[in-house]
Amino acid sequence: MFLKNKELLLSNTSKYDVRSFFEEISNKELSKAALSRKFTTLRSFYKFLIINKVIKQSPMQNMSGIKKDKKMPLFLTETEMQQLLSLENVKLRDRAMIEFLYSCGLRIEELMSLNIKNVDFISNTVTVVGKGNKERIVPIGNKCIEAILNYVKERREAGLPYDINSPMFLNDRATRMDQRTARRIVHRLFIKAGILKKASPHTLRHTFATHILDRGCDIRSVQEMLGHKNLSTTQIYTHVTIESLKKIYKKTHPRK
């Protein structure tokens, strides 16, 4: 339809015509994802025409694709987080897992790879091995340290492994817990806390970053604690906090 309206043929379209086409359909309030799919489809179509010798050169040659909008990370509010942390009748192990994920912003694979020796109970820090075997040291909150010590004490009294070389978290067979089991436990606790969001252990990592930025932590420190290679990866959380500030502004400013 676009070519017909412009009185163009496939054989004589230019990159400017392609840009004009995308400008026209972008005015229809399509999402970036939808525009990106159309761009990819059209580029594949032109390749097909070249292969079948309908045209000699694609007008989309050297044209950059359409970047999709970055999804805002899902996180829990402070109220929701408090609901989760204040659950009753929770195993000491499971409570320690939740406290650890929220206190340090760890990935679930990082948490499951920890041994007791990785935690320094004097300096309240944990040594984490992240992506690319890159090691980082992350502070641990007092509440989390307390939860870990309670769990380790329970293990010792039950005759389960608790020496420094033992895994930080054990499954019901007294061996290292795997990620799948950990995800299932966290998901169950979310449901028990009445959190209906499509949350996962990674949600607690997002929650950690969002909450400490909201409370004034600088973004470079958050980058270090999360183990992000590039600052741009961490900056997604600033968008979250900015949106939060906008909502507060609209609610409180007398001349909003």
Query: Which residue out of 107, 155, 206, 211 is catalytically annotated?
Result: 107
Tokens 């990935």 belong to residue? 107
The yes-or-no answer on residue 15 being catalytic is: no
**Ramachandran bin of 137, using left for φ above 0, alpha for ψ from -120 to 50, beta for the remaining angles:** beta
Residue 91 falls in the annotated catalytic set: no
Exactly one of 95, 155, 202, 206 is catalytic; name it. 202
- Catalytic status, residue 228: yes
For tokens 């000699």, the residue is: 56
Known catalytic residue at 93: no
Nearest CA-CA partner of 204 in 127, 103, 72: 103
Tell me which of 237, 239, 251, 256 is the catalytic residue. Answer: 237
- For the question of residue 202 being annotated catalytic, the response is yes
Q: Which of 91, 131, 134, 153 is catalytic?
A: 131
Nearest to 199 by CA among 83, 61, 42: 83
Which tokens in the block code for residue 16? 């400017």
What span, in angstroms and rounded, lies between the C-alpha atoms of 119 and 185? 22
Whether 137 and 126 have beta carbons less than 8 Å apart is answered as yes
Residue tagged active-site, from 95, 155, 205, 206: 205
Q: Establish whether 37 is a catalytic residue.
A: no
* Residue of 83, 108, 86 lying closest to 185 (CA atoms): 108
Burial class of residue 190, CB neighbours in 10 A (0-12, 13-18, 19+): buried
How far is 107 from 182, CA to CA, in rounded Å? 11
Return d(Cα 185, Cα 189) in angstroms, integer. Answer: 6
Any idea which residues carry the catalytic annotation? Answer: 107, 131, 202, 205, 228, 237
